[in-house]
Amino acid sequence: MHFNPYGGAAAELAARLVNSGRDQDLTALLAEADYRPLGPVTAAQAAELRRWIDELDAVFDNPSVPLLNALLAKTASRPYISTHDARLPHLHFAHEAAPVDERVKAYTAVGLAELFCADPNRIGRCARPGCDDVFVDTSRNGRRRFCSTRCSNRVHVAEHRSRRSA
């Protein structure tokens, strides 16, 4: 499924943040996700982003209009068109000069809201017992149940072995 940049990249960044470890360097994670414009994440901003990650996590358990509206209300969202870094015109939902935590919060909230409006079933948590990772389903048919091929294979191999032993 093809998403606009907010419903796709922003929602996927939300999933990456939720799947990040508590000790993960958020500046590096944002850089790996090609999040721009990127400034250094201070300790205070990292703490705020960790609180935000906990709120994003709840969306993957039970995406709903009230929950997403609550996230949107907590952001400093003011849509405008930007052309930074020689890119084509695109929407921003927080000012480029705003602190990185405010930009990430607006970006991920709008991304999940866009994705939810396009298809609420594409926001998910891995179905493998013991795996708490989340994902954004970009598959063609929208029936993804696992965060990765590895988790999917583990479940299917276990099911196969269970059937063979029975």
pLDDT at 4 over 70: no
Tell me which residue of 84, 87, 86, 88 sits closest to 96, measured CA to CA: 84
Tell me which residue of 114, 81, 139 sits closest to 4, measured CA to CA: 114
pLDDT at 3 over 60: no
The tokens describing 77, both together, are 């969202």
Phi, psi for 116 (deg, rounded to 5):
-60, -45
Mean pLDDT of 51-60: 96
Mean pLDDT of 150-160: 84
What is the pLDDT at residue 86? 82
Instruction: Please state whether beta strands 90-92 and 80-82 pair in parallel, antiparallel, or not at all (unpaired).
Output: antiparallel
What confidence tier does 43 reach under pLDDT thresholds 50, 70, 90?
very high
What is the pLDDT at residue 96? 82
Question: What would the CATH number be for the domain defined by 6-120?
Answer: 1.10.3300.10
pLDDT at 5 over 90: no
DSSP 114-153: HHHHH-GGGEEE--STT---EEE---SSS---SSSHHHHH
**Distant-in-sequence, close-in-space partners of 89: CB < 8 Å, separation ≥ 6:** 81, 82, 83
Q: Report the C-alpha gap between 141 and 139 in whole angstroms.
A: 6
* pLDDT tens sequence across 78-109: 888 988 778 889 888 888 888 999 999 999 99
Q: Report the C-alpha gap between 134 and 62 in whole angstroms.
A: 12
* Predicted model pTM: 0.86
The Cβ of residue 43 has, within 10 Å, a number of other Cβ atoms equal to 7
What is the pLDDT at residue 90? 83
Q: Where are the domains positioned within the chain?
A: 6-120
* pLDDT tens sequence across 108-147: 999 999 999 999 999 999 999 999 999 999 888 888 899 9
pLDDT at 37 over 70: no
